[in-house]
Structure 1
């Protein structure tokens, strides 16, 4: 066994080196500060691996039992927060193996037979990410479900729809809610695709050339619940596409959440007043007592930059690496862990914001103006048989006439409308109804009540599937 004075022997790679490592280099090289999060996955992978090499006769049944019992004891130490990290535990693999040797003696050294930290770390990361995605997925589904619930509850609220942040046409508030839920449903599908691409066993690839003892990788895959086995050992030890996939998923999802947050920041301002955030998701000003700030939404919007930055940052670390493992890949775990922490936190915050939001129906509908029905005026003429391009032009002339008289479009006298087109009749007054306006958009994806309910039903079916 290693002695306390022989530091080189405490390292998995210490035999070739004779000089002491610079203490600053020790700290710079170590990853135990963050990869200790994978303690459970590291032990799980080792428990499967010791079974596999026992089948090959590389350890005896007694040694396999001793190693397995030792690993389970270490598991309990981590679980109870009693595991002690020592100065020369440079990563989670070293720490667990060092502790195993303390518990059972030299037999611990057989656990690493045919295995490298290069394939060990990739299987740990894939195991960790698999569980992380399950958690993230549940948070994302909760947000979508709350969106559907709010869409049902507020379905009779009408509001202005916007393009270029200019009032455009009347829509339902629920239609706006479902707009963002639809993009998040794509994010859910993209997350499932990410999980599928990460579902590959890399253990058994060794440092780069494979396993020299013929370990049964299919058995390992079954034991660790991976659906398939990596096909090339060189690729397996260098592949971090699954991390990039996760970071990309998070970045796209954050773009969607940031836009959702931006809309709500605007809609909850005094100028708009369409909605009010619950106090639980707002903060005040240290100077102005009247202020109620949408800090929860601003933080979500701000996190988009950080999450996207981790993707681009890691891609730049990854882009020029020579084949197989390089220590640059230590950056992968930092990006993966930090992104998971951000996404799991802010998805829960976003769900809380939406579920407790107060929608002000009168303010939403009070913001509607008759000039938003200019397109409906054109549609009125289209239904009279006038080509749309001509109808569009005639409606524009009506808008100009109303502006010239400083009256609302709906208050333009019939005689003035007929001066522009004889196709305007008394029934044109039916155009000036916001409910009628939204109800004409009955096609799939429209803002009519039936179309919105169809969207909700379709999304609920997707979630159930």
Structure 2
């Protein structure tokens, strides 16, 4: 582009109003895509030369100029300007100032397919980083599960004590959730891995462009099959934000568990001091602010997803300027999720488990009421009858203000004649979880096997 040629094109006689320039510029945020944009431009220039639309010298000058611009951007020396509206025009203007060949770079492409290509490249790059960060949190959880593999805690439903479980089993539940999150991101990456470049503004080109060559150079596995869809499709962006929103929800749930466990009322764990904060008034406080922020940022991730869905719902084919608004929520979600994952991966190894508090809480005999029901079922009592009878025993213990295990033999004899003899043996939580038979339960041997399975899988399939 000749610097003397105005960026708004030959159609217009008047300059854009200053208000319009400020309102419509996107370079203040879309310049984040500079690496992807330059990669796309180098691939496009390479293809143009191979198609006979650029000379080898012109291609080399373009590539050299783009590399210089990339270096200047990384060094913070590149002069961005809203006069040139967006990332793409800023780079093209700087390139044309370096070499006349820069005016040929935009041959056969539109900013519509150019930005769609840059955004897809960026999403693929971000997903790769996200999945590595997820794996780091999973590994931290697995190390913790192995470190405290013998610790029992109460499992909860409705935030009421329910049954004893291994702490490791609880942690492995989050490893499972995060595995699904990683799988969803991998699937989203596959649908982002489609090249739009070569679609032009919406209808393709009369020039001999080799789109498959560009796909090869940019490592796209597919070429978009419909040029109108290619320039306006943001499904891949929605999928990415949806995967991050659900991942953020899982991180929020884990943060909430840690917040509860670290309270005086629970006292199961202490968080590392480096990841807690003090109070401006109360000197004794050590607050789990970083976990509360992770919990709060999950709302932001969901909001960004809703923002993009709302943005897309009324757009006719093909490209509309509304799509400029897709980037800020995407950039925000990418930063938010990566920060949350990195915090957790660093925080988890410093958590200290208070075994005495965990043991006291998991030794509550009421947690084994269901095991008493199972004992009766194994001795021929119908489940509903057993459930009702044990419920009456629980009520009796509460009325006497004693633990369920402290009821007298004459209280339990009506349930089954063999029960009084075995009564004292039923209240050991460690023995109780060792009796679990179902696959996927908190039986210690099953949990150990799961830890080993995860290690084998990650060793066989590194990211």
Instruction: Provide TM-score, normalisation by structure 1.
Output: 0.96
Corresponding residue for 1:429? 424
Which residue pairs with 1:365 in the alignment?
359
Structure 2 Cα separation of the partners of residues 125 and 449 of structure 1: 46
Query: Does structure 1 residue 305 correspond to structure 2 residue 299?
Result: yes
Describe the superposition over 1:238-290 as per-residue Cα deviations: whole angstroms up to 9, x where unpaired.
00111111100000011111111111111110111001110111001100001
CA distance in 2, matches of 1:224, 1:416: 76
Tell me, yes or no, if structure 1 residue 75 matches structure 2 residue 107: no
User: Counterparts of 2:296 and 2:399 in 1: how far apart (Å)?
Assistant: 44
Rounded to whole Å, the distance in 1 between the matches of 2:433 and 2:23 is 61
Matched, 1:10 2:6: yes
Name the SS for the 2:83 alignment partner.
coil
Equivalent residue in structure 2 for 1:159, among 149, 153, 158: 153
Aligned-pair CA distance for 1:110: 0.8
Q: Where do residues 108-119 of structure 1 align in structure 2 (5 Å cutoff)?
A: 108-119=102-113
1:2 CA displacement: 4.5
Per the TM alignment, residue 81 of structure 1 is displaced from its structure 2 partner at its CA by 2.0
Shift of 1:454: 2.1
Give 1:243-254 correspondences, 5 Å limit.
243-254=237-248
> What's the offset of the Cα at 1:441?
1.6
Deviation at 1:411, TM superposition (A): 0.6
1:294 equivalent in structure 2: 288
Q: Aligned to 1:374, what secondary structure does the other structure show?
A: helix
Structure-1 residue corresponding to 2:98? 103
Listed one character per residue, the Cα deviations across residues 284-340 of structure 1 (whole Å, up to 9, x for unaligned) are 110000111100110000001111000001110111101011010011111111111
> Hey, what's the Cα distance between the residues in 2 that align with 1:75 and 1:432?
68
Q: Alpha-carbon deviations, 1:163-214, whole Å to 9, x = none?
A: 0000111111111111111111110111111111111111111000012213
Residue in structure 2 matched with residue 386 of structure 1 by the alignment: 381
Deviations 1:21-65 (A, max 9, x none): 111110111110111111111111111111111222222222222
3-state SS, counterpart of residue 21 of structure 1: coil
Whether 1:20 and 2:20 are equivalent positions in the alignment is no
| Total equivalences in the alignment | 459
Q: Distance in 2 between matches of 1:174 and 1:426?
A: 33
Query: In the alignment, is the contact (CA less than 8 A) between 1:56 and 1:213 conserved in 2?
Result: no
Report if aligned partners of 2:2, 2:97 keep a CA contact under 8 Å in 1: no
Give the aligned partner of residue 447 of structure 2.
452
Answering whether residue 306 of structure 2 is matched by residue 323 of structure 1, we say no
2:114 alignment counterpart: 120
1:57 to 2:47 alignment: no
Aligned to 2:84: 89
| Residue equivalent to 2:408 | 413
SS of match in other structure, 1:167: strand
**Most deviating of 128-137 and 308-317:** 128-137
Q: Match of 2:266?
A: 272
Query: Which stretches in structure 2 are left out of the alignment for 5+ residues?
Result: none
* 1:144 pairs with 2:144: no
State how far apart, in whole Å, the 2-side matches of 1:319 and 1:214 are: 35
SS of alignment partner, residue 413 of structure 2: helix
- Alignment partner of 1:39 out of 34, 37, 44: 34
Runs of 4+ with deviation above 6 angstroms: none
Whether 1:439 aligns to 2:434 is yes
Query: What are the within-5 Å matches in structure 2 for residues 222-261 of structure 1?
Result: 222-261=216-255
Counterpart-to-counterpart distance in 2, 1:438 and 1:86? 66
Whole-Å separation in 2 of the counterparts to 1:429 and 1:71: 79
- Aligned CA-pair RMSD: 1.4
Separation in structure 2 between the aligned mates of residue 251 and residue 270 of structure 1, nearest angstrom = 31
Q: Residues 231 and 319 of structure 2 are in contact (CA less than 8 Å); yes or no, is this contact kept in structure 1?
A: yes
Displacement, 1:384?
Answer: 1.3
Shift of 1:403: 2.0
1:112-144 deviations in whole A, cap 9, x for unaligned?
Answer: 111100000011111112111111111110001
| Alpha-carbon distance between aligned partners in 1 of 2:401 and 2:57, rounded to the nearest angstrom | 94
Q: Distance in 1 between matches of 2:76 and 2:66?
A: 15
8 Å contact from structure 1 (residues 380, 428) kept in 2: no
Q: Say whether residues 1:30 and 2:30 are aligned partners.
A: no
Tell me, what secondary structure is at the counterpart of 1:171? strand
Question: CA offsets, 1:60-88, max 9 Å, x none?
Answer: 22222222222222122223222111341
Write the distance in 2 (CA, Å) between the matches of 1:15 and 1:35: 25
> Helix, strand or coil: the match of 1:385?
coil
Is 1:345 the counterpart of 2:335? The answer is no
